[in-house]
Structure 1
């Protein structure tokens, strides 16, 4: 990747006035220290049997500081106390009440009640704070079956039984709809798209969605009918957004307000009951996408594609079909997609927006020249005042925020074995 110089200002000796040669990319940061205190960690090669994690998944705190860990490989949820000791295991593989046929994620409320997304049965299974199974709530075509909900961002709402969820990517939704039609199933075309946040109500037998917020939606051509046999057409549907197009980044604040950014500029809106109650901004401009930058990104993506091991083809194949031919065809289609990839004209400033337990907002900036680098994190207090910035290259935004300054991170060792580490934030980062 090329490195681009920051903008500079020149003072003329005659007028003694600053002349701006390029947009200012960075406001003045007030740096905070990454002096987090480790409280406990579990996982890795020497972990107890219950903590032998094979992949990173959902983690969430309750109001007592217990951490809930989704373990899809074992179809169970672990409840770990504030000292890092296992309290209980919730669920297990099976077909009975409180057993999972395919755990796809969890949502935990502050009182310790939990909803587990069971993909094998297209339901949420609800549990109380003691881990007791309560009942099941079934997904519908309107809110989407589990397969179309796997990668949706979901957050606990302001009270138990309410989940705030981002809609499904329109391209992926169209592909799933074609697959469902091919199988003779009811499609999910009525689902909201990725620019919408809805409240999912789990109070009845079916999941019921209510639109809370519709954000900026880029203009795009209508999706053509999806041909599942055409690899190039399929990949065009799945990758139709220009690279660097601003995605919707959001989180739920205590009380149910939504903090979100939906554009390339640094503007985080706080919305409550459909009205904007605050806007967090900093004088940091998006970086324009030049031809050189676009070329560098294409080259890097092609190198990564060529270095990647071919994926195994799941399931039995028709007689005479060579898996190597499928892998080669997919790789060639992916390369064509990269070579023909379009770019948004500027790189969005914000990479992530998260709300901490006390209502403070953490805004992670994007490193425009290296997407794998954890960018700097700006922290705003519950009142919206800028507290300071955690420098790039630190821990990054936590995977979960908890009470009393607890935060949880997944960490990987040199062999990519995951561990969970819980830290306590310094007083400067909590009320």
Structure 2
């Protein structure tokens, strides 16, 4: 069974103190207590398809596949929906009142003061202000509760002449942003540390990737420039094992016409000089912000949730005696077959979604990458795959679903073009959800197939984005029963 480093060793590295107190370990029962997912719908908002002649939605009539939605509640129970997409009209925040009607909207893509340039994440602070992380601005944009633009809080200045967007850490890739409960800061994960070296003479790109860091940073927003502290450093299997991918482009590629590009042998124009190791079923990493500004997170193959206080000290560990599933040879063979089938389907679909010249380049590049990426299995499938924290601090702990169900839908194809991508191909969600109260009381387990809310709100409100068979999206707000809202 793969476990983290011992708690003592972990504390010595991450939280050095002269006399660290012993951490409380809470052991929960092994037997499941069945709960019903009796969520009462409050309202829903349909997102139309682009071919809808009369869309009845605040989100307009443009193609919804270009949108990424991020949801967050404020303390008044209003739901803020951040639209991040590929088109100018998708950069905005729509606010729904408790009755489901549009209360206001703000933000836009543009070049005026307070406009988005390249928004990547957002959060809602406890005082109602909204914060948008914008990569091109190299800053967080802060908006008042009514949507009025307030100010910009810039990232630290880069050093060594690097482009700000490529600075490891704050301006690097972010998995998510979560607002702190005191309104003064946000938490954000560092997905990977990257640096890129481009040689325009040889048309080569060399990327150094140290893999997922497991770092959560606390970002202060009080001054003109952000302050950054490490809130926690989770255990990650790839830490310290830098891998590199080099892509070589033949200069002749620039001389090809669109027709020649479509029929070119891309293997002669694109090549890789090193391969990346992609892990299948690595230990998960997810976190949530607690009401006292502490953090809860998972980083193990076992059922184990760690809780740190607002100062970053690990103060207790909550466990259930559930064991990981060993990866068998039969499982390796079956999943390997499904990965190859998913890769083939994804690559075949590129020509339908892109111009022929771009499709040819991507087809050749991705084919080369998938041939040389070396997937490796962890010896066991983790017990957990996700974590949510309710408004009042309850833990929603998502257990892993059936590993063999991973590649059965189109939504899985993107993740399997390059197995594991940067972070490894994680174990599938879709398993039961264990609910643990803020007082460490085990409430019970919701059945497999229950989806973790995309946002938790006050008074039991929660929001989900659902995707229908035709890929249309609906935002559904429901109320969680009082029995599941433990103190």
TM exceeding 0.5 = yes
Count of residues in Structure 1 that have an aligned counterpart in Structure 2: 390
| Paired position in structure 1 for 2:388 | 354
Residue equivalent to 1:236: 275
Is the Cα contact below 8 Å between 2:211 and 2:239 reproduced in 1?
A: no
Partner SS for 1:168: strand
Name the CA shift for 1:56/1:285 in 2 (closer, same or farther; >3 Å).
Answer: same
- Match of 2:25? none
Matched, 1:259 2:296: yes
Q: 1:189 to 1:113 in 2, by over 3 A?
A: farther
Deviations 1:149-195 (A, max 9, x none): 4542221113223111111324xx24xx335999xxxxx99999622
Residue 39 of structure 2 corresponds to which residue in structure 1?
Answer: 36
Is residue 51 from structure 1 mapped to residue 59 from structure 2 by the alignment?
Answer: yes
Offset of residue 384 of structure 1: 1.0
> Within 2, Cα distance between the matches of 1:202 and 1:428?
37
Task: Mark the CA change 1:315 to 1:290 in structure 2 (over 3 Å): closer, same or farther.
Answer: closer
Distance (Å, rounded) in 1 between the aligned partners of 2:331 and 2:317: 31
Deviates more, 1:212-221 or 1:291-300: 212-221
CA deviations on 1:53-102 (whole Å, 9 max, x unpaired) are 71342100000000110112321111111111111111122111221123
1:11 alignment counterpart: none
Deviation at 1:347, TM superposition (A): 0.8
TM-score, normalised with respect to structure 1: 0.81
Contact 1:76 1:103 in 2 (8 A): no
Structure 2: gaps (5+ residues) = 1-28, 49-53, 202-206, 250-269, 407-427
Residues 168 and 194 of structure 1 are in contact (CA less than 8 Å); yes or no, is this contact kept in structure 2?
A: yes
After superposition, what is the alpha-carbon deviation per residue over 1:113-160, rounded to whole angstroms, capped at 9, x for unaligned?
110122332221101111111101122348995575454222111322
1:298-317 equivalences in 2 (<5 Å):
298-308=336-346, 309-311=348-350
Q: Matched residue of 2:305: which SS?
A: strand
Contact map agreement 1:33 1:390 (CA 8 A) in 2: yes
With structure 2 as the length reference, what TM-score do the two structures score? 0.72
Q: CA deviation at 1:325?
A: 5.5
Q: CA 1:180/1:63 → structure 2, altered by over 3 Å: closer, same or farther?
A: farther
Q: How does 1:12-411 map to 2 (within 5 A)?
A: 27-45=30-48, 48-52=56-60, 54=64, 55-73=67-85, 74-140=90-156, 141=158, 145=164, 149-170=172-193, 173-174=194-195, 177-178=196-197, 194-218=213-237, 222-223=241-242, 226-229=245-248, 233=272, 236-237=275-276, 240-272=277-309, 273-308=311-346, 309-311=348-350, 323-324=359-360, 326-337=362-373, 340-369=374-403, 370-371=405-406, 374-394=430-450, 396-411=451-466
Q: 1:65, 1:403 within 8 Å by CA — same for their partners in 2?
A: yes
- TM-superposed CA distance for 1:373, in Å, is 5.5
Q: What is the deviation of 1:400?
A: 0.1
Give the conservation status (yes or no) of the 8 Å contact 1:355–1:362.
yes
What 5-or-longer segments of structure 1 have no aligned partner? 1-25, 183-187
Q: Distance in 1 between matches of 2:352 and 2:225?
A: 35
Contact 1:104 1:150 in 2 (8 A): no
Which has more strand, going by share of residues? 2
